[in-house]
Amino acid sequence: MKIALTGNPNSGKTTLFNAITGKIEHVGNWPGVTVEKKEGDVKQALLSGGESITVVDLPGAYSLSPYTSEESITKDFVVNESPDVIVNIVDAGNISRSLFFTTQLLELGVPVVVALNKSDLNEKKGTVIDTLLLSEALKCPVIETVATEGSNNGLASLMEAAVGVKGKKQSAPALRGSRKAETREEVEAVDKKRFALVSDIVDQVERRKINSSKQTTQDKVDRVVAHKWLGLPIFAAIIWVVFSVSQSWLGPVLADLFVGWIDAFYGVVEGAIGDNVNPVLSSLLLDGIIGGVGAVVGFLPLIMVLFFMLALLEDSGYMARVALIMDRFFKKIGLSGKSIIPMIVSTGCAIPGVMATRTIRNERQRRTTAMLAPFMPCGAKLPIIALFAGVFFNDNAWVGTSMYFLAIAMIIVSGLVIRMITGDKSVSYFIMELPEYRFPSLKRAAVSMFSRAKAFIIKAGTIILVCNAVVQLLQTFNWQFQVVAEDMPGTSILAALASPLAWVFIPLGFGLWQFAAAAITGFIAKENVVGTLAVTFSVTNFIDVEELALVGGGNEVMGVFGIGAVAALSYLVFNLFTPPCFAAIGAMNSEMESRKWIWGAIGFQLGTGYVLAFLVYQLGTLFTTGSIGSGFVPGLIAVGAMIVSVVYLIHKNNKTASEAVLKAA
Amino acid sequence: MTNTDLVVLAVITAVVGLAVFKMVRDKKKGASGCSCSGCPVAGQCDSPVKK
Amino acid sequence: MKLNDAALDKEYYVSAINACEEGMGEFLFTLGCFPGEKITVISQVASSYIVSIKDARYSIDENLAAAILVEDSSLATLAV
């Protein structure tokens, strides 16, 4: 049989879904984390024999009303896929709103079971709900659940109740005229009655100790963290703490240990194959596959610590406040706080981030957000940040933090430019439910961290591994398929392919074919940047910087890479702000639904990366050495051309806009 | 080619072959190849994007 | 009056919704924010308002706050 999970946003649907299926879907304590429906099978432990149950987790909705298009997924699903039972998850702390949706579900003709979730929080607040009376009033089973608990959570009884009502007819609480209502006014009149009915029920079944419209400690916290002037510095401080723990403090310690194991493994394999092996084969295995993948995987501990802390942050309910703080700035560029959610999701991976833009109604806002969200440093970009922070900047937490805030700043600047190009002047409203703060659960954060780590390892073992092997082969052979002489690495196929691009990068400070090659492989997956650099520079350990210096013959890091810290920062910026990986571009394409927009987006992102890297390198060189960097004039011409074309587009739009006004007049 | 060469070649082929096999299988399962199988929040984009 | 001018911590009754964005009025309705319902402004932070509607907290921006018209609870009861 098939069960559909429905309920208001942030009522804990996905947490309950994970608890009954044993899956590890991403959850966050803020509304709108789920945008796609997800399926899973109920764990055997929760079934008392009988047939297996498939559960479908649907995105949150406040109602089934036909005029809120955003939430039609629930209705479509119930109508098209006819589930046997609907489990309606109701936030026990807020039945006076949630039951509105429940009464609508009851009219669909599918048996409904209400899961009164988060009932533990009610106990703490001294709110009492008479479930028996509620069940009577709604004419459907009501089960108290605590989806966050491992045991004694009411989930087994919930499943039992779901099996029990299958195929039975339920009669919905009577609402006169609800079936015939067709016009907007009729629907609204019925819905008003519906709310009146809900209020009646709530009056009967609920006893509250604390009036919810009174100030609480949570509201005091809100006033500080969402303060006009303090909000942003607090957010910056939190991100800085996250980076200093993961990047400067705990992360490197764990990474050192971990990289030791990888090195030991490398040594074992090296010893096992001995000296009699063909050098091409041995370097393909050792430097290409083990070294390249090892260099990427070496950052795993750092990334795990970071993901752990971000998961804690998401769980606490703070992220919804970040959206609130940023709304003010996003308004200025014609976006709203709603655009923040895709961007926060993008800090994990840009693909779901881009998909989350679907909840934005305004088409231009949706497309702009899909175009800008990939600027946020995603999980795959973290190894690049960690690499450059470690090698060139002594593991300083400011590198990662500043990249986050640079990303936010770039999003705002770019958003402004896009608004001027498209000439859209629409105002938008922003409303978002503020979830209650809660103490983040270490267990949930650990589960989320391990699932992300697993995904990271799988990626390193598949696409990254294959790419590194290919890069190693391409740099071993020249066009005549002869092995490249050791002192002439520039004659390899890889060098020949990447060199033309390297010329373009001279004004950015990293005009070496190795960096160009790494930037190209980065489009397949951003971790490849680290892997390709490892392979092309024959460095396998990026964590232990002292060892790195030894590889370069006792010289400094500069000797190994041939670039200085300023150019390194420029390269970092370039990789973060160029178009994301192909997969994310694919996601952008399907959300934008416009050829013009997707090519515009790719062009814009390429331009942003180039201009920003140019500025970082040339200004940085100017400040540190007092003279301009290499290739300044051609670079300036290129940047100038990009700016002129953007200005042209803005001008063109203004002209068409004013012509339209003239025509209208 | 020595015997060791053959062994090393076999190992490399096996490792790369396995990696490609897994990628192809993931792609067939509906996860979009190099993206979602490895995406840190893979769960969110398990189902292919359809509109 | 507009919700922007409402005093903090005081219960008001919604008298009208003037949202020009399509669907917004209906959306607010599903949250339980429609003429006759109660609304309380909890605090004003950054450029937004935190309001309490039916046991839930929402943050709404200035534009939307201006689209929600409220009246004093005592007046509303008098009218009834």
pTM of structure: 0.87
Q: What is the mean pLDDT of chain A?
A: 85
Q: What subunits touch chain A, counting only 3 or more CB pairs under 8 A?
A: B, C
Distance between CA atoms of residues A97 and A456, nearest Å: 40
pLDDT at residue number B44: 41
For residue A293, give the amino acid letter: V
Provide the pLDDT confidence category of residue A550 given band limits of 50, 70 and 90: very low
Q: Is the pLDDT of residue A55 over 60?
A: yes
pLDDT at residue number A388: 87
What residue of A is the nearest CA neighbor of C42?
A215
Distance between CA atoms of residues A491 and A494, nearest Å: 8
Q: Is the pLDDT of residue A522 over 90?
A: yes
**Helix or strand holding residue A116 (H, E):** strand A112-117
For residue A33, give Cα distances in angstroms to A29, A92, A353, A373: 8, 20, 10, 15
* Beta sheet of C38-45, edge-to-edge order: A431-433, C56-61, C48-53, C38-45, C11-17, C68-72
Tell me what the mean pLDDT of segment A216-234 comes to. 91
Q: Could you identify the residue written with the tokens 């669909």?
A: A108
Is any Cβ of chain C less than 8 angstroms from the Cβ of A320?
yes
* CB atoms B47 and A37 under 8 Å: yes
Is any Cβ of chain A less than 8 angstroms from the Cβ of C11?
yes
Distance between CA atoms of residues B17 and B14, nearest Å: 5
The DSSP-derived string for A598-642 is HHHHHHHHHHHHHHHHHHHHHHHHHHHHSS--TTHHHHHHHHHHH
Is any Cβ of chain C less than 8 angstroms from the Cβ of A63?
yes
Is any Cβ of chain C less than 8 angstroms from the Cβ of A514?
no
What residue of C is the nearest CA neighbor of A202?
C54
Q: Within 13 A of A278's CA, how many CA atoms are on the CB side?
A: 15
Taking each continuous run of H as one helix and of E as one strand, the counts in chain A are: 30, 9
Please give the residue that has the higher pLDDT: either C23 or B35.
C23
Question: Highest mean pLDDT: which of A17-26, A570-579, B39-48?
Answer: A570-579
* CB atoms B34 and A351 under 8 Å: no
pLDDT at residue number A626: 86
The DSSP 8-state label assigned to residue A483 in this structure reads B
Superfamily in which the C3-79 domain is placed by CATH: Ferrous iron transport protein A (FeoA) (2.30.30.90)
Token pair belonging to A504: 């373009």
For residue A90, give Cα distances in angstroms to A115, A135, A166, A212: 6, 13, 20, 17
Q: What is the mean pLDDT of chain C?
A: 85
Q: Is the pLDDT of residue A428 over 50?
A: yes
Superfamily in which the A2-207 domain is placed by CATH: P-loop containing nucleotide triphosphate hydrolases (3.40.50.300)
pLDDT at residue number A636: 92
The per-residue pLDDT for range A250-290, each reduced to its tens digit, is: 988 898 888 889 889 999 998 888 888 888 898 899 988 99
What residue of A is the nearest CA neighbor of C60?
A431
Q: Could you identify the residue written with the tokens 């954060």?
A: A445
What is the ipTM, given to two decimal places? 0.91
Contact at 8 Å (CB) between A529 and A521?
yes
Provide the pLDDT confidence category of residue B37 given band limits of 50, 70 and 90: very low
The per-residue pLDDT for range A351-396, each reduced to its tens digit, is: 888 888 887 878 888 899 999 999 999 888 999 998 888 888 877 8
Distance between CA atoms of residues A475 and A485, nearest Å: 11
Contact at 8 Å (CB) between C13 and C27?
no
Tell me what the mean pLDDT of segment A310-323 comes to. 88
Contact at 8 Å (CB) between C1 and C68?
no
Domain boundaries, chain A: 2-207, 231-435+444-658
* CB atoms A65 and C64 under 8 Å: no
Contact at 8 Å (CB) between A539 and A548?
yes
Contact at 8 Å (CB) between A556 and A568?
no
pLDDT at residue number C77: 56
- Residue A645 CB neighbour total at 10 angstroms: 12
Distance between CA atoms of residues A441 and A311, nearest Å: 9
Distance between CA atoms of residues A617 and A632, nearest Å: 10
Contacts of A196 (CB under 8 A, 6+ apart): none
Burial class of residue A556, CB neighbours in 10 A (0-12, 13-18, 19+): exposed
Q: Within 13 A of A548's CA, how many CA atoms are on the CB side?
A: 24
* CB atoms B44 and A352 under 8 Å: yes
* CB atoms A582 and B34 under 8 Å: yes
The per-residue pLDDT for range A114-126, each reduced to its tens digit, is: 999 988 888 888 8
pLDDT at residue number A506: 92
Q: Could you identify the residue written with the tokens 């929600």?
A: C68
pLDDT at residue number A35: 64
Tell me what the mean pLDDT of segment A522-533 comes to. 92
The rounded radius of gyration (Å) of the Cα atoms in chain C is 12
The per-residue pLDDT for range A86-125, each reduced to its tens digit, is: 999 999 988 999 999 998 888 888 899 999 998 888 888 8
Cα A626 to chain centroid, rounded: 40
Distance between CA atoms of residues A601 and A215, nearest Å: 45
The per-residue pLDDT for range A461-514, each reduced to its tens digit, is: 988 999 999 999 999 998 888 888 777 778 899 999 999 999 999 999 998 999
pLDDT at residue number A39: 82
Question: Highest mean pLDDT: which of A200-214, A543-557, B31-45?
Answer: A200-214
Provide the pLDDT confidence category of residue A518 given band limits of 50, 70 and 90: very high
Distance between CA atoms of residues B12 and A499, nearest Å: 28
Contact at 8 Å (CB) between A129 and A122?
yes
Token pair belonging to C75: 């007046």
Token pair belonging to B23: 């990628």
Tell me what the mean pLDDT of segment C23-47 comes to. 87
For residue A148, give the amino acid letter: T
Distance between CA atoms of residues A97 and A296, nearest Å: 48
User: Which among C30, C48, C55 has the least Cβ separation from residue A324?
Assistant: C48
The DSSP-derived string for A411-455 is HHHHHHHHHHHHT-------EEE-PPP-PPPHHHHHHHHHHHHHH
Q: Is the pLDDT of residue C78 over 60?
A: no
Q: Is the pLDDT of residue A554 over 60?
A: no
pLDDT at residue number A31: 65
Q: Could you identify the residue written with the tokens 């752990």?
A: A308
